[in-house]
Every structure is written in C-alpha cells, then in structure tokens.
A and B are shown apart, each in its own frame.
Chain A
Amino acid sequence: MITLGSILEIKNFKMYYNTQAGKVKAADDISFSLNEGESMGLVGESGCGKTSVSMSIMKLLPENAEIISGNIYFNGKDLVPLSEEKMNEVRWAGISMIFQAAMNSLNPVYRVGDQIIEAIVTHEPNVTFEEARGRVANLYKLVGLDPERMDNYPHEYSGGMKQRAVIAMSLACNPKLIIADEPTTALDVIVQDTILRELDKIQKRLNMSMIYISHDIAVIAEVASKIAIMYAGKIVEMADSVTIFKKPAHPYTVGLMSSFPSIRGPKKELNMIPGEPPNLLNSPDHCRFAPRCPFATDECISKTPPYEEIEAGHLVACFHPQNLKRQVSANVG
C-alpha cells in the first residue's frame, strides 16, 4: 500500500465543507506522494483548495469541514483517524508549517524567541530553557537573523524579519516535512526572492521534505523539484518541474504558462485564461475546467477524466492532453 521512501502519501482524499448553501468540494479525490528530501509545489488559483489540502494534512480544519474519505499517510502512519492528542504529537515535530499570513502568525504579546521556545519545549519536555534558547539562537543564525533580536516583540520586527522568524520557528523541532503556504506573498519581490532561495538552501542542507503552495508557478518552479497543478479541488496535472514547463499537458497548465511573462524566452503575447474561476459549491461531475477549456468536447462535459500517467512520472487528468507526440490535432476546435 505505502510506497517505500515516501514521507507523505495522500490517497484519494476527499474533504468537503458543509455550508448553508451546500457542500463545497475543497479537496476532491486528491492523491500524491512525496519522497524524503523532495520538494514539491502545489499551484493553483486562489480558492482552488490548495490551502484546504495543507490544512487537512495538519488536521487544522474548521468545524464545518468533513473528511469524506481517503487517507493521509505521514511516515507510514495514517493521520485521518488520529485523535487530537495524537495529532498534537505529529504537529510541528513531524510536520510544520510556514503560514500564508506570516505577518500575523506571531502572537503580538509574547517575545518572538519565547514563541519558538514554546514549540521546542512542548514537543521535547526534557530540553531545558537554556538549551532551547541556544537552539533558537542557532536557528536565527541559519535564517539570517541576529540572535539578539530573540527578546524583541513581533511589532519590533520588519515584514521580512517576521517572515524569517516564522521560518526559524517552522524549523524548531527538526520536522521531516514543512508546508510553506504562500510563504512570501506579503513581501516585496526582492525580499521574496532572497527568502525563497534561503529556504531552498536550508531544505537541501537539512534534507527535509517540503511542500510549497503558491498561485505563482514561476516562483515555485525555482525551488520545487516537482509540481502539482490544482484546479477546483482536484489535482489536474503533476510532473517534475522541467516537464511541466517544457511540455504542459493539461489545457489549464498550458493556460497558466502563457499567462506569465518570461524575461529570457522569446517575446510572446500573454494569454489570459478565459472565463470565471470555478465555484467549488456543488461542483459538477464532469471535467471542471471544461467550461473554460478551448479543447472541450462532449466527452468532457459528461464524464470525469481519469487521472492517468501519460508518461513516466507525468500524471494528467484530461481527455485531450496537449504537447504530446501522439497529440490528436482533430481535438482542437
């Protein structure tokens, strides 16, 4: 059942939100696996369910969320049936997170260092306060912060410093996996780049697994070795980042590629994906991209396309995959 060497394996995971308007299918039949030391990018428009996936892995779901089916194996252990107490042992010590809004993920009334120490002593009760302080000082050096700033409060940090502190915090308990949910969105481009590179370096050095979540495929491609594209609660394509860039197969991925400018490549017109972003509420039982897809046929609006391996390590959920040698041009139009 469990692939050897994989740190995280998600199998046919379904999670819906029950709202007054109906069921919101935030994660619908999600499957992927991640090896030890591997870094992966999860890309999609806002509202496509990528944050829901990360919150499901941490089991930090709101009350109205319901896990319908599926398993999340972390280190060979299924997290879905775990109790809150057991789950608390996995959180941070096994899987830690860098949050979307790093600006607000530090409690304003406690010293930043103390908030990191808190995580350490919760999971390793034998560590004394002084040892924990020493570890935090090392982490500060690792992420490029002055250890003397440990005793400052969050409001005395700049945006970039808070982000670094949050990264230091995520490393505090030597987790096997870090989920970075839009780790740099709130920062300006220069700081964004520096921080991502450092994060990448740290990940390689400490040999951790990493999931980057972003709406920006270009940012992810620099640091992630493989990329999964999410659309309307489903993973529509997954491959290593080179393949995704060179030979995007799903029409949505193709659209995403052409909506980003490239500095080095030849000049070309930027294309927008036509149509509205999907509504996850009571989504239909056929291909969800079909209403916006230029290649859609009758087949696409009657059946859900299977999630299949079209090449080695390249999975796509589409009836009409693009950029393949055996592409049937008749499908177009």
Chain B
Amino acid sequence: MLKYIGNRLVQIFIMLVIYVAIVFFLLHAMPGGIKSILITNPKLTQKAQETIIKAFGLNQPLWIQFWDYMKNIFTLNLGISFSYYPTPVWNIIAERLPRTLLLFTIATLIAFFVGFVSGKSLAWNRGKTSEYISTIVGIVTYTIFTPLLIFVMIWFFGSYLGIFPLNQFLNPDLWIHTNLNAQTVFLYILMTMSIIGVVMLVSFLMALRFSHKVGTRKLIFYLSTAISIIFALFLWAVSPLGIYGADIIWHMVLPVMVVTIISYAGTMLVMRDSMLETIKEDFITTARAKGLPDKVVRDKHAARTAMLPVITNFVLSMGFVVSGGVITESLFSWPGMGMTLLYSTLGKDYPLAAGALIFTGVFVLFAHLVVDIVYAFLDPRIRY
C-alpha cells in the first residue's frame, strides 16, 4: 500500500515537472514572447519593467530562464504580479487556492454522491419512463452552457426567491463594521470542515474495526458525525466570528449548487452503464441465490463493485469540473483560482496567469492522488 502510494507520488512529481515545462515553453513560444507582453503592459512603469526583466533574467537564454523558473517554482517564488504590483504571485495564490479548494471539494463530493445514487437507481429501474426522463435531464444539465445555467440560477434564487445573494464572496455591508480579515474567517471554516472530515473518516474506520453488524456500524458512523457537526456549529454560534462565517457559507451555496448540477450527470451516466454491466455478472446471481434482500444485492454487491470504473472516470473528468469552475467563479465573483486565471489573462498579467495555471494543474494532480489512494482502498485487486 505504502509502496503503491510512493510510486504514485514519484509519478505525479515527474508529471508536474513536465507540466510546468510545457506551460513555460508554451508561454515563451508566444509571438513576441514574454518580454513584449511585459513591455506593452501599461500598468507597469519603466523602472518596474526593468526590475522584473533583471530579476527574472528575461534577457538570458531560454534554457537558463527555464532552469531558474523550475528552481523558483519549487521554492514557491512565482514572480511578481503585474496587475497587483508589487505583490508576489505566491501570496495571491495562497490566498485564493483555499477558496477554490473548499468550493470544489464540497461540490464534487455532493455531485459524486448524487450521481452515484441516481445512476444506481437508473440501472436498477431499467426501461421505465423515469429512466428516460432522468437520462435526458442528466445529459441536458451536463451539456448546458454553464453561463446560461448561472444566469437562470442567479435570477431564480437571487432575484425571484431572493434567498441567496446574487454574487460576491461576502456581504460588504456586514464586513464594513469590523476589522476582521475575511481570509482568517475563511481559513477557520476550512479548518472546521477538515476536522469534521477527519472525524468522519476515523469513525468510519473505527466502526469497521469494532463491529461486524451493519446496523451498529451505521450507528457509530452517523452518531459521531452528528456529534462533531453539532459541536462545530455550537462553537461557531458562540464565537464572535459566527455571523461572518455564516455570511461566507451563505454566499457559497449558489456556486456549489451550480458546480454540482453541471458535474453530477457525468458520474450518474457512467455509474448507470457500469452498474448495467455489473448486474449481469455471476456474483450478482450468487448474491441473489444466497437469499440476500434486494437492497443488499443492489447496494453491497452491485453498486460497490460498479463504483470502481466510476471512480476512474471521475479522475478523467476532473479537468472538466475545473473548467466549469472557471466560469462559475467568474460569474459569481468568487475570488478563487478560476477567476484569478481569467482576469490575469484578460489583464495580460503573465506571471499571475502562469502561476494560476500551474497551481490549477497542481490542484488537479493532488485530486488525482487522493482518488488513487481511495481507489486502492476500494479495489483489493490493486492493493499489493
């Protein structure tokens, strides 16, 4: 197991180096090169331009530049943003990466869960009218032009029902009276969620270890999850940060909904196909013959095994989800990586754009690694 993870880590490191190299050479192969982009940028003074050219050795040969760039990347020195001069790129990314991380982790988990459950029941209810309707709805939400969906969602929930804010990361009227930093509050939220996640994982493993009865296992898992969530909510409620945290969460609901809607169908359709293939397997007949209740055959035997190709496909579609995220973030003014990437590109802020692109790649790579490890846990055949 450890060897497997180690192998994956080495592979992913190599991929990262190649990825950075491709990004670097592609940007330098642009007509006119980086220097012309730099010189034509009106936001920079003559002196600033010279400093940057000197600091990043833009006058040196390409290979030396590349070597320096590589060294800089791994010391997290990504240069200085043109548009936020003189803020270093890393500082901007360090501020925005967690926001994307939170948005995506939540939306992805929900989307996977919804897709998994609905795909499972689609295959189990094959040939019914409900199957056709859900398939069509699924494909439409999967291929819908994301801005179109967002316009309608903002109108419906933001204006028509008026229950969610239109856009923005937070409500300025609320935050104007405090000298609290939004980033601090945000990091607390992230920390709370990770702690709850860890508690869930630990209680799940404990349940597996200490009981062989499905009922007891479920009880341990749900009980500890509920207790940790209630405890966290209580802490937030009594702390002075509570209202600010709630404000951020409240602003997050719509973006999470959008990313969920555009990405659940991918999981659903693959799950349906995989499930249809699995229920023709012999071990499903065995499970039925053993006299197991229909639900147990479906969930424990068919769905659990059908899940494996779904996870593989999920890795492949990660890029798609991140792409949808760029549109979502920029239309909801959610200041994460996607929005940073778009606006730095539009503003010709090359170092920030390159940094954002690289860290979007790192994010996807990291997600790959996580999914790989999960997969290794789920499929005993590749564990050794």
* Chain A residues with a Cβ under 8 A of chain B: 58, 60, 84-85, 87-93, 96-97, 99-101, 104-109, 118-119, 122-123, 129, 153, 155, 169
Taking a contact as CB atoms under 8 Å apart, the answer to whether B287 and A93 are in contact is: no
Given A88-B291, A109-B378, A153-B381, residue A60 in contact with residue B285 (CB < 8 A): yes
Inter-chain contacts of B1 with A (CB < 8 A): none
5 closest cross-chain pairs (CB), A and B = A91-B291, A129-B212, A104-B282, A88-B291, A105-B286
Taking a contact as CB atoms under 8 Å apart, the answer to whether B381 and A155 are in contact is: yes
Inter-chain contacts of A123 with B (CB < 8 A): 291
Taking a contact as CB atoms under 8 Å apart, the answer to whether B287 and A107 are in contact is: yes
Taking a contact as CB atoms under 8 Å apart, the answer to whether B305 and A89 are in contact is: no
Q: How far is the CA of A100 from the CA of B286 in the complex (A)?
A: 11
Inter-chain contacts of A105 with B (CB < 8 A): 282-283, 285-286
- B56 → A minimal CB distance (Å): 51
Taking a contact as CB atoms under 8 Å apart, the answer to whether A99 and B292 are in contact is: no
- B286 → A minimal CB distance (Å): 4
Q: How far is the CA of A58 from the CA of B285 in the complex (A)?
A: 10
Given A91-B289, A92-B289, A118-B290, residue A108 in contact with residue B282 (CB < 8 A): no
Interface residues of B in 332-384 (CB under 8 A from A): 378-381
- A156 → B minimal CB distance (Å): 9
Taking a contact as CB atoms under 8 Å apart, the answer to whether B286 and A90 are in contact is: no
Taking a contact as CB atoms under 8 Å apart, the answer to whether B285 and A108 are in contact is: no
Q: How far is the CA of A84 from the CA of B301 in the complex (A)?
A: 18
- Interface flags for B287-331 (1: CB within 8 Å of A; 0: not) read 111111110100001001100100000000000000000000000
Q: How far is the CA of A106 from the CA of B293 in the complex (A)?
A: 17
Q: How far is the CA of A104 from the CA of B281 in the complex (A)?
A: 7
**Quick one: which of B282, B286, B289, B305 contacts A109, CB cutoff 8 A?**
B305
Taking a contact as CB atoms under 8 Å apart, the answer to whether B305 and A108 are in contact is: yes
Inter-chain contacts of A89 with B (CB < 8 A): 291
- B125 → A minimal CB distance (Å): 12
Q: How far is the CA of A92 from the CA of B297 in the complex (A)?
A: 14
Q: What residue in chain B is nearest A128 (Cβ atoms)?
A: B212
Known: A99-B282, A118-B292. 7 other contacts (CB 8 A): A87-B291, A93-B291, A104-B283, A109-B308, A123-B291, A153-B381, A155-B381
Taking a contact as CB atoms under 8 Å apart, the answer to whether A108 and B381 are in contact is: yes
Q: Is the interface on chain B under 10, 10 to 19, 20 to 34, or 35 or more residues?
A: 20 to 34
Q: What residue in chain A is nearest B379 (Cβ atoms)?
A: A109
Given A107-B305, A129-B212, A155-B381, residue A122 in contact with residue B282 (CB < 8 A): no
Inter-chain contacts of A169 with B (CB < 8 A): 286, 290
Q: What residue in chain A is nearest B380 (Cβ atoms)?
A: A153
* Chain B residues with a Cβ under 8 A of chain A: 212-213, 281-283, 285-294, 296, 301, 304-305, 308, 378-381
Q: How far is the CA of A118 from the CA of B290 in the complex (A)?
A: 9
Q: How far is the CA of A332 from the CA of B27 in the complex (A)?
A: 91
Q: How far is the CA of A100 from the CA of B282 in the complex (A)?
A: 9
Taking a contact as CB atoms under 8 Å apart, the answer to whether B294 and A122 are in contact is: no
Q: How far is the CA of A138 from the CA of B27 in the complex (A)?
A: 68
Inter-chain contacts of A153 with B (CB < 8 A): 380-381
Inter-chain contacts of A58 with B (CB < 8 A): 289
Q: How far is the CA of A1 from the CA of B258 in the complex (A)?
A: 66
Q: How far is the CA of A252 from the CA of B381 in the complex (A)?
A: 46
- A145 → B minimal CB distance (Å): 18
Taking a contact as CB atoms under 8 Å apart, the answer to whether A109 and B288 are in contact is: no
Q: What residue in chain B is nearest A54 (Cβ atoms)?
A: B289
Inter-chain contacts of A155 with B (CB < 8 A): 380-381
Q: What residue in chain B is nearest A100 (Cβ atoms)?
A: B282
- B148 → A minimal CB distance (Å): 40
- A207 → B minimal CB distance (Å): 22
- B123 → A minimal CB distance (Å): 14
Q: Can you identify 18 A-B contacts, CB atoms within 8 angstroms? A: A60-B285, A60-B288, A88-B293, A91-B288, A91-B290, A92-B290, A93-B291, A99-B285, A100-B282, A101-B282, A104-B282, A106-B283, A107-B287, A108-B283, A108-B380, A109-B304, A122-B292, A122-B296
Inter-chain contacts of B291 with A (CB < 8 A): 87-93, 119, 122-123
Q: How far is the CA of A129 from the CA of B216 in the complex (A)?
A: 13
Q: What residue in chain B is nearest A106 (Cβ atoms)?
A: B283
Inter-chain contacts of A118 with B (CB < 8 A): 290, 292
Q: How far is the CA of A119 from the CA of B300 in the complex (A)?
A: 13
Taking a contact as CB atoms under 8 Å apart, the answer to whether B381 and A119 are in contact is: no
Q: What residue in chain A is nearest B281 (Cβ atoms)?
A: A104
Taking a contact as CB atoms under 8 Å apart, the answer to whether A96 and B289 are in contact is: yes
Taking a contact as CB atoms under 8 Å apart, the answer to whether A107 and B293 are in contact is: no
- A57 → B minimal CB distance (Å): 10
* A89, A96, A107, A155: residue with the most chain B Cβ atoms closer than 10 Å: A107
Q: What residue in chain B is nearest A114 (Cβ atoms)?
A: B212
Inter-chain contacts of B285 with A (CB < 8 A): 60, 99, 105
Taking a contact as CB atoms under 8 Å apart, the answer to whether B380 and A88 are in contact is: no
- A102 → B minimal CB distance (Å): 8
Q: What residue in chain A is nearest B383 (Cβ atoms)?
A: A153
Taking a contact as CB atoms under 8 Å apart, the answer to whether B289 and A97 are in contact is: yes
- A56 → B minimal CB distance (Å): 13
Taking a contact as CB atoms under 8 Å apart, the answer to whether B212 and A84 are in contact is: no
Inter-chain contacts of A60 with B (CB < 8 A): 285, 288-289
Q: How far is the CA of A233 from the CA of B115 in the complex (A)?
A: 43
Taking a contact as CB atoms under 8 Å apart, the answer to whether B283 and A119 are in contact is: no
Q: How far is the CA of A96 from the CA of B288 in the complex (A)?
A: 11
Inter-chain contacts of B290 with A (CB < 8 A): 91-92, 96, 118-119, 122, 169
- A260 → B minimal CB distance (Å): 28
Inter-chain contacts of A100 with B (CB < 8 A): 282
Q: How far is the CA of A123 from the CA of B291 in the complex (A)?
A: 8
Taking a contact as CB atoms under 8 Å apart, the answer to whether B378 and A88 are in contact is: no
